[in-house]
């Protein structure tokens, strides 16, 4: 999609600190990290929100979640079969949640204790 920051990163037009990639997913460090590990995981195809993605291509949503878990394991936030020490997946959706980039992305946050509830 034109005029989409994350599509431009997938295309290589804007640099990204890529930490994980599959045929259909792409993961890179957030430019303004909110935790020691803060990675964004996206589908390479443009979908605005998780709700729109799951309707259009549910398998791709599953691939994004699998990629997020792989990133967490790679970053030492979990093991293949266990949740220790732990991490958080966040999908800000819409204006009330503060979504600023309208290409669906999972934030993978970890490396510190994460307060609940979030703001």
Active site residues: 105
Distance CA 16, CA 13 (A): 9
Which segment (6-14, 19-27, 33-41, 86-94) binds Zn ion by CB under 5 A? 6-14
Note whether 107 and 89 are within 8 A (CB): yes
The CA distance from 54 to 44, in Å, is: 14
> Which residues, numbered 42-81, are part of the site for ligand 5GP (CB under 6 A)?
none
Number of residues in contact with ligand 5GP under rule CB under 6 A: 13
Q: Which of residues 46-75 bind Zn ion (CB under 5 A)?
A: 46
Residue labelled with tokens 């703001």: 119
Single residue of 38, 44, 69, 103 touching Zn ion by CB under 5 A: 103
């Amino acid at each position: 999609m034109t005029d989409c920051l994350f599509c431009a990163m997938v295309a290589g037009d804007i640099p990204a600190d890529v930490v994980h990639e599959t045929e259909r997913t792409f993961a890179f460090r957030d430019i303004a990290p909110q935790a020691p590990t803060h990675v964004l995981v996206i589908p390479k195809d443009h979908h605005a929100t998780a709700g729109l993605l799951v309707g259009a291509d549910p398998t791709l949503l599953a691939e994004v979640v699998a990629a997020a878990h792989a990133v967490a394991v790679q970053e030492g936030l979990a093991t293949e079969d266990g949740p220790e020490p732990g991490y958080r997946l966040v999908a800000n959706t819409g204006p009330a949640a503060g979504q600023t980039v309208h290409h669906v992305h999972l934030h993978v946050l970890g490396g510190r204790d994460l307060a609940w509830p979030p703001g």
